[in-house]
Amino acid sequence: MNTDIRSRSLPFYCKSAAFAALALLGATVGPVEASEDIRFELTPAGAVRQCLPNARGEVSVDAGDSAELMSVKVEGLPANTAFDVFVIQVPNLPFGLSWYQGDLTTNAKGKGKARFVGRFNVETFIVAPDVAPAPVVHETPIPDAGANPRTGPVHTYHLGLWFNSPTTPAPPVVRTP
C-alpha cells in the first residue's frame, strides 16, 4: 500500500464532475481500422477543467495482430495519486457504457504513465445478447448490478480517468471574475 496516496475528501463540485477527471477526449479519433496506429491528446472535459486546470495527456495505440498496445501519459495531475483508466462510450456526462481498463499512478511531479494490452480500434465494443446474472462484489461506493442489461454492440472510442479513491482530494478550484 502506498501511504503517499492522498486520502482526504473531494469538494462536491469536483465529485459532481463524475468519474472522468479527464473525460479524456479521444472524440476526434473515432473508429480506426484494426491495422492502424492511433495518436491523440487527452484534455479535461467540462467542469473538470476548473478542478484540474493543468491536466493534459497523450495516448498512443500501436496496432498488433491480435491486440493493440495502448500507452497513456499524463501530467498536471495531483502528485502521488492513484487513478483508474476507463474505456468509455462518450467523453462527457453521462459517459454511457464503460469498462475499467487499469490503474495509473502519478509521481511527485504529477506525471504518470501506464500501458495496456487489448482491443483499442474499430473492434472495441460492449455487447450483451441477453440479460444474465452478475456477481455482486462491491456494495460501496457504488453497488454492483446483479444482472446486466440486454444491449446490442455499443462502440467505446473514448478514455476516462478518475481518482482511484472517492476520498482523494482535488486541488483548489481556480476562479476568475
Domain layout of the chain by residue ranges = 12-126+149-163
Q: What is the pTM of this model?
A: 0.76
148 pLDDT above the threshold of 90: yes
The string of pLDDT tens digits covering residues 78-113 is 999 999 999 989 887 788 999 999 999 999 999 999
Burial class (CB in 10 A: 0-12, 13-18, 19+), 17: buried
The string of pLDDT tens digits covering residues 14-40 is 433 333 444 444 434 555 555 689 898
The string of pLDDT tens digits covering residues 48-63 is 778 788 999 999 999 9
Strand arrangement, sheet containing 158-163: 98-105, 82-88, 158-163
